[in-house]
Amino acid sequence: MPKSSPPSPPEGTAATAAPPKTDVPVLISGAGPTGLLAGILLAKMGIRTQIIERDMTVSPLSKALSLHPRTLEILRQTGQDLSTRFEKQSWECHMVRMYFGGKLTAELQWTPAMESQFHHTWGLPQTSTVRLLTEEYERTGMGYIDRGWELVGTKVIEDIVGKKTTSWVETTIRRAVEGTNSRKGESAVLGTVEQAGDDEGKQYEIKVVKSDFLIGADGGRSTVRHVLDIPFPGRTRDANIILFDGHIDTDLPLDEMASINGTNLHAVGIFPLYGNRVRFLLSDGTLTEEEFAARKVKTPTKEYFERLLEETVTPHKIKILNYNWLTYYRANERRATKFVYKQRIILAGDAAHTHSPMGGQGLNTGLQDSYNLAWKIAMVLKGTAPLSLIDSYNEERIPIADEIIQLSSKNLNFFISESYWFFQARKIGLALFSYLAPYLPTGAGGPTFAMLGLRYYKNSLNKEHATHHNAPTAPASIGRRAPDDVVYPLAADSTPVRLYNLMNTLGAFQILVFTADCQFQKHGLEATLFTDVEHYQRSWLARWPGTGTGTAAGVAASKASPQFMVHIISHLGLDATVGDNNLKKESGYGKMYLDSEGGDLHRRYSITAKGGIVVVRPDTHISYRVESFDKAAWLDVDKYFGSILCRS
């Protein structure tokens, strides 16, 4: 772990013809974390991409600082090497110190997220995140970043011949002949969603790119969203927040986050980076009515910032040694009315939703947008799934965005008002709060902040079976993240392995077969089960070419496709015959593993005594489950795949 302190379509779907030859399967606008991860995931599923980015260089600003446990799982699923590189440059966040009026009131420990192999949030500046993702994207050799090019127009072309509809995207991009694409007077305030006008007289080189899909990951000021005239309703908060990034000298410890609430009724959040480099978020009241109406903020001078900071942290001392960044932040709480345009253009990240940085959810939500989207695009391009699958991105990510916007809004409300609230509370017993604070639930390591509890709902992709008995709030219900835990290979000298490390084939459905305590060996069910697994993997390979990654060891022998990986999990003692046969199997091709002695994984998946089959989507959310693993259950799973994938 990181160091502990900083340094053919289904029923009801219109027939869709393949588009004409395009320049690139997927064009991505924006080389930030969201666009880069989408490019990496698509590349590892065999899909070429092109990323256009207006800026000639990567932004040096630290921006987002947090990688939550769910995001860390996604990075691990993307690649062990990538995850390791992130681990080496990150640090774990364990707590926040709270000061009131100069007094250390509480040290709130983050609750470890024990439902994941990643128990804590990792700290890492966005500059490092972008660099690591850029290196990984270039390493794939399946795409390139065109810097200096910006999107100026895009449209979906539709050609209808008889009952067949052909569609693709045509995008106009440009590059300044001299200089850069930056505009005069362009706002440097972070969080701005308004676009700047063009400079007069600037000359551009112009090209048109034809692609099957366009991903708009071009930030809060998204040109993709603007040119498609997709509304971006919500509100701009009137809170003034100053952002600082630089090196300091201080008498405060810099090994963990801190929140200081000053007697001047202002607050500052302190986020350690490396050594004595920190990020400050300093509350500076609210905009005047005139400033708010004009969508303008004051420019923070060094003198003003240092004076306000000193007043807020007193009696503690902070000396600014240098500045990397000093600006105001405008919190926009907005969400596009739709994320998918004509099934070919998709908004992701800040282009689709914006909110305050409180809680560190923004970058993480954008990366999770890409994780939800990439495998769906890959399946459509490979001919495995109908184009209508893209609509599920819209259905699933809009509720998530709404939830995150609401959460960050509550966090912002607390931050800008906490000094006033707590100093008023002194009149009725701040001492009581000081005593209770260390015992209050922080939630920071829980499902909400860790982003492990975010779930999708029933739709065309997530379907319930009649035998699905557990409530929608249960950990392994339809739409929820699949629980992770350790399982044990049958070989006596084998070490435990995490389930998520078995489910590491990008773009593949993972079918988990739980044998429970159904007298598995007594009735010779192991032979029947192994036969069913091999039969259906062969059948699915013939009907749906795989988009999964990796070397499908054993494919020639088992005729299985990386698109459908099967893992059998039992918590019974198995005889030598079963063990010998199982050792010859490759992981994902009906290989059996043992649950813990207490059947922890069976319990976490709410498996009954009859056992069951659970279908886990390529993004590790549960999309279908059926009780038992008899022939009727396998037939139901087969029908489920037939209902969401193209007909053979």
Q: How high does pLDDT run on average in the chain?
A: 84
Residue 83: name the closest of 91, 92, 75 by CA: 75
Give yes or no for a contact between 42 and 377, defined as CB atoms under 8 angstroms apart.
yes
Phi and psi at residue 602, to the nearest 5°: -60, -45
* SS3 annotation, 562-624: CCEEEEEEECCCCCHHHHHHHHCCCCCEEEEEECCCCCHHHHHCCCCCCCEEEEECCCCEEEE
Tell me the pLDDT tens digit for each residue of 20-45.
Answer: 688 999 999 999 999 999 999 999 99
Give yes or no for a contact between 328 and 241, defined as CB atoms under 8 angstroms apart.
yes
Say if residue 9's pLDDT is above 60. no
- DSSP lists the bridge partners of residue 51 as 28, 145
Residues 6+ positions from 191 with CB-CB distance below 8 Å: 220, 329, 330, 331, 332, 354, 356
Residue 125: name the closest of 282, 6, 29, 216 by CA: 6
**What Rg value do the Cα atoms of the chain yield, rounded?**
26
Reported confidence tier of residue 524, pLDDT bands at 50, 70, 90: low
The predicted structure's pLDDT at residue 42: 97
Mean pLDDT (whole number) for 72-77: 96
Residue 480: name the closest of 367, 605, 601 by CA: 605
C-alpha 444/C-alpha 217 separation (Å) is 27
Residues 6+ positions from 302 with CB-CB distance below 8 Å: 320, 323, 326
Say if residue 168's pLDDT is above 60. yes
Mean pLDDT (whole number) for 456-474: 82
Reported confidence tier of residue 156, pLDDT bands at 50, 70, 90: very high
Q: Three-class SS of residue 403?
A: helix
The predicted structure's pLDDT at residue 425: 47
Pick 107 or 226 by higher pLDDT: 226
Tell me the pLDDT tens digit for each residue of 393-433.
Answer: 999 999 999 998 888 777 777 666 655 445 444 433 444 44
Give yes or no for a contact between 71 and 120, defined as CB atoms under 8 angstroms apart.
no
Q: Three-class SS of residue 590?
A: strand
Say if residue 518's pLDDT is above 70. no
Residue ranges and CATH numbers for the domains of the chain are: 24-91+121-178+208-232+335-403 (3.50.50.60), 238-330 (3.30.9.10), 455-644 (3.40.30.20)
Residue 327: name the closest of 126, 187, 220, 218 by CA: 187
C-alpha 516/C-alpha 630 separation (Å) is 13
Q: Three-class SS of residue 145?
A: strand
Reported confidence tier of residue 555, pLDDT bands at 50, 70, 90: very low
Pick 22 or 298 by higher pLDDT: 22
Tell me the pLDDT tens digit for each residue of 340-360.
Answer: 999 999 999 999 999 877 667
Q: Three-class SS of residue 490?
A: coil
Q: Rounded to two decimals, what is the model's pTM?
A: 0.90
Give yes or no for a contact between 145 and 31, defined as CB atoms under 8 angstroms apart.
yes
